Amino acid sequence: MAACTGRRILDGEMPKQNGKAVHSVVIAGGGVAALEAALALRAHGEDRVHVELLAPEPRFWYRPSSVGVPFGQSRVPGFDLPDLVARAGATFTPGELAAVDRRNRVATTRAGDQLAFDALLLACGARPEPAVPGALTFRGPADTEAVEGLLRELERGEARRVVFAVPPGAAWTLPLYELALLTAAWAQTGDVRGLELVLATPEERPLALFGRQASDAVATLLHERGIRFVPGVYALELRDEALVTLPESTLPADRVVALPRLRGPRIDGVPQTYDGFVAVDRSCRVRGLEHVWAAGDLTSFPVKQGGIAAQQADAAAEAIAAAAGAPIVPRPFRPVLRGLLLTGSEPRFLRNDPVGPGETAAMSAEPLWWPPAKIVGRHLAPFLGALEPGLLHPPRAAMTVEVDLPESPTPFVDAARAPDERRVRELAIAVPTVATEETLADAAAELLGQDADAAVVEDEGRVVGLLTVGDLLRAARARVSSADVSAVEWMTAEPPAIDAGASVSEAAFLMAQTGGWRLVVLEHGSPIGVVSASALALAHAEARGS
């Protein structure tokens, strides 16, 4: 890419290359999706685009490798991010995106800098938060020492029963399977006896997303390693030497190793779900915002994985390049899950062909994709592999899987329906409905008029959000003029919805999974109101007679 005449931060100057104005693309983020998108834009956009990457941290860590660190199997490669960005033909700007003004196409950083854009790609990832009190939360490189500490405790016999557990809101369970399998292999090799290892997960079968045959292979591996598999439960907390789960149950445990709950960072002016995720269409354009795309863990796609992040980044980059005039037909996001599971034993390669949903995986003696990296990005894997060749050697003790995913994969089980419980329709409170482009001022007037604390936001008859009093307060704090901004910019996007005939338990289960305080209640697909967490808690207490 030719040299650019410099970065423009609302100084009136548009980016130019060789004297010609070019499409200015701002990418917020410095991780997998951001780098893949920068590389793809270089490939497709050539000198039509100027790419500026905005990220708060100057390092890029290859996190999947962190799982093997406590077992002495790997180290976590770290790269200088500004150097990677320069090699990708883009410019690096340190900073954290705080707000987006879609009308004026301006991105504002937390420090108050403003970046004008023709296209903005949100690739800010998700933040891991501990979700199981009392457990060791494994978030990646930061927690390898804690796992090493746990292994020392097991060696000394200070703990014996370990549960590897998935809380509500965790979306990529593979690292937990790896930790459990590697712990069992470590105990066998080191002759650490008497351990009771359990893997507790909301999945119905081990790594259910990978299809039946891969799942069966993982089940066999767990069995061979003496790891008990407990399906259909979410981990809540470690209390009195037991893991408390949802649905209500307990598992004896001295220690619990849990995955974190993921949340997207709040960005003013961008519709986000309760958990801070961003809903996108098939070209990864943010629903409701023209000129803004999103890719990776930040999106509301339920599988948070590097390969998926890269596929979304490719779809967004192609759409952005086409908008900049590149002669390509952009391909939509079509999720293919490529997983490489560290097993501590011989390599296995499983392919799931898209004949039947998740049921036709085949064993192969060769890796299924090339380069056989942990994070499979069309552009990123060879790019990083050229700098760190070790990333391209398939681990000796690993299983690879390739699966075509449905558009809305649902990896986890639902709550059972109890026949004698109250139905959600009895608890629903009617709320006003507003349109996406209705101003906040008008929407606030409707809330006041109906004495409601939330309104359903609809777009062409589809529920796309909830506008709550909390959202109005956020907008007030950001000092936006309520007559100038619309519901779509400040609403809570894609609120979880439940059928009016569902039971109180089902609603409580869904609420725990999604982390919100309200569910939209649908009768024959149309909203009839919302049900709140407090109403559900009350109904639950009444049913138990307390």
Ligand X SMILES: Cc1cc2nc3c(=O)[nH]c(=O)nc-3n(C[C@H](O)[C@H](O)[C@H](O)COP(=O)(O)OP(=O)(O)OC[C@H]3O[C@@H](n4cnc5c(N)ncnc54)[C@H](O)[C@@H]3O)c2cc1C
User: Contact positions toward ligand X, by CB under 6 A?
Assistant: 28-34, 54-57, 63-64, 66-67, 96-97, 123-125, 139-140, 172, 174-175, 265, 296-298, 304-307, 309, 340, 374-375
468: which 2 tokens? 């709550």
Sort 360 into a burial class: Cβ within 10 Å, 0-12 / 13-18 / 19+.
Answer: middle
User: Which residue, 173 or 505, is less far from ligand X as judged by CB?
Assistant: 173
Residue nearest to ligand X (CB): 31
CB of 339 to ligand X, least distance (A): 7
User: Which residue, 97 or 463, is less far from ligand X as judged by CB?
Assistant: 97
CB of 361 to ligand X, least distance (A): 18
User: Which residue, 96 or 281, is less far from ligand X as judged by CB?
Assistant: 96
For CA atoms 486, 491, 493, 497, the dihedral sign is: negative
Smallest CA-to-CA distance from 265 within 252, 249, 280, 276 is with 276
440 alpha carbon, distance to own chain's centre: 29
Q: State whether residue 381 is helix, strand or coil.
A: helix
Q: State whether residue 376 is helix, strand or coil.
A: coil
Smallest CA-to-CA distance from 95 within 84, 81, 78 is with 81
User: Which residue, 124 or 361, is less far from ligand X as judged by CB?
Assistant: 124
Supply the angle between the helices 144-156 and 174-190 in degrees, to the nearest 10.
Answer: 40
CB of 302 to ligand X, least distance (A): 12
User: Which residue, 139 or 474, is less far from ligand X as judged by CB?
Assistant: 139
389: which 2 tokens? 């060749």
User: Which residue, 55 or 415, is less far from ligand X as judged by CB?
Assistant: 55
How far apart (Å, rounded) are the C-alpha atoms in residues 284 and 282? 5
User: Which residue, 85 or 466, is less far from ligand X as judged by CB?
Assistant: 85
Residue 2 is given by DSSP the state P
How far apart (Å, rounded) are the C-alpha atoms in residues 312 and 301? 10
CB of 123 to ligand X, least distance (A): 5
CB of 434 to ligand X, least distance (A): 28
End-to-end CA distance of the chain: 69
CB of 102 to ligand X, least distance (A): 17
CB of 366 to ligand X, least distance (A): 19
Strand 227-230 and strand 49-55: the pairing is unpaired
